[in-house]
Amino acid sequence: MSEGKSPRHAAEQESADVSEAEIAVHWPEEDYVLPAGQFIAQAYLTNPGVFERFSLDRFPECFKEFADLLDWYKYWETTVDTSAPPFWRWFVGGRINACHNCVDRHLAAYRNKTAIHFVPEPEHEAVHHLTYQELFVRVNELAALLREFCDLKAGDRVTLHMPMVAELPITMLACARIGVIHSQVFSGFSGTACAERIADSESRLLITMDAYHRSGELLDHKEKADIAVAEAASAGQQVEKVLIWQRYPGKYSSAARLVKGRDVILNDVLAGFRGRRVEPEPMPAEAPLFLMYTSGTTGRPKGCQHSTGGYLSYVAWTSKYIQDIHPEDVYWCMADIGWITGHSYIVYGPLALAASSVVYEGVPTWPDAGRPWRIAESLGVNIFHTSPTAIRALRRNGPDEPAKYNYHFKHMTTVGEPIEPEVWKWYHREVGKGEAVIVDTWWQTENGGFLCSTLPGIHPMKPGSTGPGIPGIHPVIFDEEGKEIPAGSGKAGNICIRNPWPGIFQTVWKDPDRYVRQYYARYCKNPDSKDWRDWPYMAGDGAMQAADGYFRILGRIDDVINVSGHRLGTKEIESAALLVSEVAEAAVVPVADEVKGKVPDLYVSLKPGLLPSTKIANKVSAAVVSQIGAIARPHRVVIVPDMPKTRSGKIMRRVLAAISNRQEPGDVSTLANPEVVERIRALAT
Ligand code: WT7
């Protein structure tokens, strides 16, 4: 990181992510690209004065504007209670229901409007256009079932392990209607990963689907539920019922048998609830709406607990002003609802605005890289939202496809990882046809919604950079000593947010200490302080700020690898590898990948006396897939005679990362076993 090297980065040479930061810092500054006049002419936000309205001295009252996008049963009294930092309580005293705000309140004006366009992966299957009226009916019937058949009440947790189908938002909204806290686990995660989340959230109920389509295959999904329930039980959590949606109602598409007394075909039982209505439960604004598990520095995923009033107001405001969703727009976010992006920007944000939101079941490149553009053309999609990984894949597999289809985006989003300027330019020129404005939105599972972005109708865009903090968000970069690194200094540091905001998560489920330690302790100068100004939020990303105030995000400073925009904890992968009895030590490093951004290379050493074999390598790979899911499948498993180690016995991941990325490992003379480096290089290249 040459001149941009901060002391921590120098000291932290053992972290593999330093090399990631170095790559990014060497990107040259790009020229501005201006938003099209046609976009600006219709944009909600065009007056830069908005930043005045949300200046730090207007905190926290400025956020009233967020809350006022919603219907309240009882209006709140306190904008934010900051008396017990860093536990913030937004819109205290208010009563609200998220489902009412996303469904019921739209019926008067939009009953017959499409709420969800469900697009099955098989192209011959008809698209289902679910209207707000239908959504209302289905959510009510399911809410009645959850309450009466499953005996659920407000505050209970339910784990969902569902694919990208319309039934997923229906299930989430039915939970929200009765105040039940949902915890949706990404469908690509394994039964074991699901079990861990069931146990941590203490869910008595699992809701899943028998099967779904992915890359041309109808995948058996219910089989994962059996593993999840068995493993949750051994972790001490009994699942009483498994509710199973059928991908094709009336037909069971899984080879896994139904367990008597436990497994229930959901669409069959629902027939008994036809016509039922359930009044939405007026929940306290601070009642948790959902849990979303994410990877951290330890092996155990953290359940990020999001509130009802603060979260919903935050995603509604940002959907309106950053996504610029107007009632007449057709909006498609191609993320998976199993991640926070899908929760905030497929389900809660767009539906709070009565938008039409597309839910696509499959992979973007199935059956070919023209698929997204055919979907956009046929549905009239004009706002599009995806990740650099998807953009890279579409660019590689079909660089000229967008031009063949007659669709027009006014607005596009990129989120989840840094985007290379070349990829950005293809997105702008080919996918956006030079007409669409692009927002590169930076945020995290913990944050509820966007933190940094350009304002689409106000700011020029800069490829490869996100923007400044959005209105109401005041980012700052600190060096290792807690000194502010000024904009334009060319130096990188840790990006933090000075102030709380309504979308920030409330705590780590059942682990408030971890919440304080991981996000707030680092730059808190006085742990006894009751002043929110003393409690900046630390995101865990390295970043630098250009003179114009735009931030460039350089990547994680912790032990997290960002694969296709999804966070994987290196510790999680390493612990999975260590379950294989032959393995003595394991170390994961990120390898640059043309499409996925980063992929994990897994180095393992074996117990004494064992010889390396493909069989062991395959076993290690299988263990990772079964513990976490295919998304974490190692790019390679390299069996090494020994790990490169410091004299204190710490594995030098930096050296392994250099080998994997075909770079020079730098000075290895201080290692306890420098001779092993060349042997590893010979094995790994
Ligand atoms: C991490 C958060 C937020 C939804 C998707 C990921 C990286 C996120 C950007 C961006 C560069 C980005 C950061 C962050 N990240 N957006 N626009 N540019 N990096 O949510 O799984 O919680 O991951 O993704 O490293 O910390 P997540």
**Residue 608, pLDDT score:** 85
Return the closest-CA partner of residue 221 out of 260, 176, 185, 171.
Answer: 185
The best mutation among 567, 572, 628, 631 to test binding of ligand 1, ranked by most ligand atoms within 8 Å of the C-beta, falls on 567
Predicted confidence (pLDDT) at residue 504 exceeds the cutoff of 70: yes
Conformational region of residue 565, where left means phi above 0, alpha means psi within -120 to 50, and beta covers everything else: left
Place of tokens 């897939």: 625
**Residue 314, pLDDT score:** 98
**Residue 667, pLDDT score:** 78
The best mutation among 318, 444, 462, 473 to test binding of ligand 1, ranked by most ligand atoms within 8 Å of the C-beta, falls on 444
Average pLDDT of the residues in 343-366? 97
**Residue 17, pLDDT score:** 37
**Residue 645, pLDDT score:** 85
603-634 as b/e, with b when 16 or more CB fall inside 10 Å?
A: bbbbeeeeebeeebbebbbebbbbbbbebbbb
- Identify the band that residue 296 occupies on the pLDDT scale cut at 50, 70 and 90: low
Predicted confidence (pLDDT) at residue 22 exceeds the cutoff of 60: no
- Identify the band that residue 15 occupies on the pLDDT scale cut at 50, 70 and 90: very low
Q: Which residues pair with 230 in a beta bridge?
A: none
Residue of the CA atom closest to atom 14 of ligand 1: 444
Structure tokens belonging to residue 630: 């295919």
Average pLDDT of the residues in 79-102? 98
Tell me the pLDDT tens digit for each residue of 204-247.
999 999 999 999 999 999 999 999 999 999 999 999 999 999 99
Q: Is the peptide bond before 364 cis (omega within 30 degrees of 0)?
A: no
Half-sphere exposure of 294 (CA within 13 A, CB side): 26
Residue of the CA atom closest to atom 6 of ligand 1: 416
Place of tokens 């985007």: 419
Ligand 1: centre distance to CA 444 (Å)? 5
- Is the CB of residue 539 less than 8 Å from the CB of residue 495? yes
Looking at 68-214, list the stretches that DSSP marks H as alpha helix, in order from N- to C-terminal side: 98-102, 107-110, 132-148, 167-177, 191-201
Ligand 1: centre distance to CA 442 (Å)? 6
Structure tokens belonging to residue 368: 């070919």
Average pLDDT of the residues in 355-379? 97
Ligand 1: centre distance to CA 205 (Å)? 30
Chain mean pLDDT for the chain: 93
The best mutation among 306, 346, 415, 544 to test binding of ligand 1, ranked by most ligand atoms within 8 Å of the C-beta, falls on 415
Predicted confidence (pLDDT) at residue 8 exceeds the cutoff of 60: no
* Residue-by-residue DSSP string for 407-461: ---SEEEEESS---HHHHHHIIIIISTTTSEEEEEB--GGGSS--B---TTTSPB
**Residue 298, pLDDT score:** 62
Average pLDDT of the residues in 446-472? 97
Residue of the CA atom closest to atom 3 of ligand 1: 444
Query: Ligand 1 atom closest to Cα of 440?
Result: 17
Tell me the pLDDT tens digit for each residue of 539-581.
999 899 999 999 999 878 877 888 887 888 787 888 889 889 9
Ligand 1: centre distance to CA 424 (Å)? 16
Tell me the pLDDT tens digit for each residue of 59-81.
999 999 999 999 999 999 999 99
CA 1, distance to chain mean position in Å, is 28
**Residue 578, pLDDT score:** 86
Predicted confidence (pLDDT) at residue 177 exceeds the cutoff of 90: yes
Average pLDDT of the residues in 85-102? 98
Residue of the CA atom closest to atom 27 of ligand 1: 444
Other C-beta atoms closer than 10 Å to the C-beta of 667 total 10
Place of tokens 């979260």: 311
User: For the chain, what percent of residues have pLDDT higher than 70?
Assistant: 95
**Residue 605, pLDDT score:** 92
Average pLDDT of the residues in 586-593? 92
Tell me the pLDDT tens digit for each residue of 248-261.
999 999 999 999 99
Ligand 1: centre distance to CA 555 (Å)? 8
Ligand 1: centre distance to CA 683 (Å)? 33
Query: Ligand 1 atom closest to Cα of 555?
Result: 25
Better-scored residue on pLDDT, 480 or 515: 515
Q: At what angle do helices 167-177 and 132-148 cross, to 10 degrees?
A: 60
Return the closest-CA partner of residue 315 out of 505, 474, 128, 572.
Answer: 505
**Residue 13, pLDDT score:** 34
**Residue 299, pLDDT score:** 62
Ligand 1: centre distance to CA 311 (Å)? 18
- Identify the band that residue 27 occupies on the pLDDT scale cut at 50, 70 and 90: low
At 526, the amino acid letter reads N
Predicted confidence (pLDDT) at residue 319 exceeds the cutoff of 70: yes
Pocket of ligand 1 (CB under 6 A): 294, 340-341, 415-418, 440-445, 466, 539-541, 553, 555-556, 562, 565-567
pTM score: 0.90
Return the closest-CA partner of residue 310 out of 284, 333, 292.
Answer: 284
Return the closest-CA partner of residue 239 out of 170, 191, 189.
Answer: 191
Q: Strand, coil or helix: what is 110?
A: helix
Ligand 1: centre distance to CA 417 (Å)? 5
- Identify the band that residue 6 occupies on the pLDDT scale cut at 50, 70 and 90: very low
Q: Strand, coil or helix: what is 610?
A: coil
Average pLDDT of the residues in 575-588? 90
Predicted confidence (pLDDT) at residue 155 exceeds the cutoff of 60: yes
Ligand 1: centre distance to CA 301 (Å)? 16
d(CA 448, CA 499): 15
**Residue 26, pLDDT score:** 55
Query: Ligand 1 atom closest to Cα of 340?
Result: 4
